[in-house]
Structure 1
């Protein structure tokens, strides 16, 4: 199963040529992961306050395949590829009208933001992440 969210490409997302600036794709991926977490019933501000955990990107690999352009409607899908005690690996894709524009693998660590150290995810979060196991469609 994967989580999907749709975004419109705005002028602020593009360079002078009307093509999405490469770093802005990472913002789309982050927003999609945040919305997936929210859809599973977890808000980051509440997790920080109640569980004293945050998620931080540890590493990522991105293949930029084709450019998105001003006014495009793109769909970002997020699926969990690996799930550990304190980290999760997402496979994320950005697609426009069935055409893949970007394929990324993002390793995210569960951390105690005060100490800056990795900590185990609460069991309920891990269990919900299991529902996203699979491949983006």
Structure 2
């Protein structure tokens, strides 16, 4: 008898934090079983994409409508400890600032699934900007700005 896989569990908001779980697979590591440095950025990117989706910010619809797309314009990352093969990771994201065309998001990656007991592995600060199809900064809609502000303040996201 084959057991059915568990349902997909996306990230979730807990107050002002978006929490996203990930697991380290063999493809994420080097020959010593340690996560390759660029893959931490991938975990962070997946968490940010999940955060936007849950917040009701439809990246695909914006691209298909010719409105524009999100791009990382600045990133700072600090590595504290290595993640290893089969580790359970938790990416915690918080919105720090909402500007006219950009948002600053702080992210940290923990080993474990609890923000209180998890071991801090990596910390980053990312600026993402909404760009027009021509690549120029484009002001966030009032709806998106309100959603990011609600997230930043730990409030319920507007419907």
TM-score, structure 1 length as denominator?
0.93
Task: Pick from 118, 122, 127 the counterpart of residue 137 of structure 2.
Answer: 118
Q: In proportion to residue count, which structure has more strand?
A: 1
Q: List runs of 5+ in structure 2 lacking aligned partners.
A: 1-15, 113-117, 155-159
Task: Pick from 76, 87, 99 the counterpart of residue 102 of structure 2.
Answer: 87
Root-mean-square deviation (CA, aligned residues, Å) is 1.4
CA contact (8 A) 1:18 1:70 kept: yes
Residue in 2 that maps onto 1:108:
128
Q: List runs of 5+ in structure 1 lacking aligned partners.
A: none
TM-score, structure 2 length as denominator?
0.80
Task: Pick from 126, 131, 136 the counterpart of residue 150 of structure 2.
Answer: 131
Greater CA radius of gyration, 1 or 2? 2
Partner deviation per Cα, 1:37-87 (whole Å, 9 max, x = no partner)? 000112311121236121100011001011000000000011111110101
Distance 2:17 2:147 in 1: 12
Residue in 2 that maps onto 1:36:
51
Partner deviation per Cα, 1:76-116 (whole Å, 9 max, x = no partner)? 0111111101010000000112111011000111101x211
